[in-house]
Amino acid sequence: MKYKETSDGKMIIHCMCCENAADPEIRARIEEMQKACNTKLVSSSICPDCEIAQNEKIDPSYRFSREKIENYLRNNDIEFMVYEHPAVYTCAEVAKLRPDIPGLACKNLLLKDKSNDKCYLVIIPADEKVNFKKFAKIAGAKKLIFADEAALKEKLGLEAGAVSPFGLLNDTAGEVALIIHKRVLEAEIVSFHPNVNTATLALEQKMFQKFLGIIKRPALVTD
């Protein structure tokens, strides 16, 4: 949670996450804080349970866990289907264990520009090959490489095998750019891990689009 003192001596609560949260308990807690501190709420896009300040490093206790992600989706009226499975590290493993998951399976990769460490979350169909040159061209980067596990934890708060667009909820500074394959945007249903590799969430395309709209993360589209 961020506070800023105004010229009249009052404090402003400035928040960045869980935008448009519909949970009445969250809204009530924000209103209570306003009354208690005589504050003006500038942005209510973070719930009091997250308290992630912009540009701060991700505190493990504030990361979006599976439970927080599912609550976030429900609070924003984003419908999804849940499929449990043992820990997996590839799309092929998921397909073997849960062939009943509908729609397009998606591969999620965190890449970085070798020259300046700018990171990109790339979402492509599971059957697509990773084309570094094509992704670099659309990103305007000289050369893209796989980000290491340290960057994955720092930027998205994730472990290897659990990379997902939901990890962008942990990127409160907006440092990770998004690249999405057009087939992902055309599929009727898409599926992703909820920041852990022991479950998969399937969303209809309109629900995925709603999520992207709520987090306000524009995407570069590749083919």
pLDDT at 10: 39
> 105 near 125, Cβ under 8 Å?
yes
Environment class of residue 67 by beta-carbon count within 10 Å: exposed (0-12), middle (13-18) or buried (19+)?
exposed
In contact, 195 and 167? CB cutoff 8 Å: yes
Q: Give the model's pLDDT for residue 16.
A: 41
* Residue 182: strand, helix, or coil: helix
CB neighbour list of residue 84: distance below 8 Å, 6 or more residues apart: 198, 199
pLDDT value, residue 25:
56
Q: How far is CA 109 from CA 100, 162, 180, in A?
A: 24, 10, 11
CB distance 43 to 14 below 8 Å: yes
**Cα 69 to Cα 147, 155, 196, 211, distances in angstroms:** 23, 17, 10, 11
- For the chain, give every residue range classified as CATH 3.90.960.10: 66-222
Q: What is the pLDDT of residue 217?
A: 87
- pLDDT by residue, tens only, the chain of 223 residues: 333 444 444 333 434 444 444 455 555 555 554 454 444 444 434 444 444 333 334 444 457 888 899 999 999 999 999 999 999 998 999 999 999 999 999 999 999 999 898 999 999 999 999 999 999 999 999 899 999 999 999 999 998 899 999 999 999 888 999 999 999 999 999 999 999 999 999 999 999 999 999 998 889 999 8
User: What does the mean pLDDT of the chain come to?
Assistant: 79
Between CA 122 and CA 130, with CA 126 as vertex, the angle to 5 degrees is: 50
Cα separation, 174 vs 148, whole angstroms: 19
- The CATH architecture to which 66-222 belongs is Alpha-Beta Complex (3.90)
Q: What is the pLDDT of residue 26?
A: 53
pTM above 0.85, yes or no: no
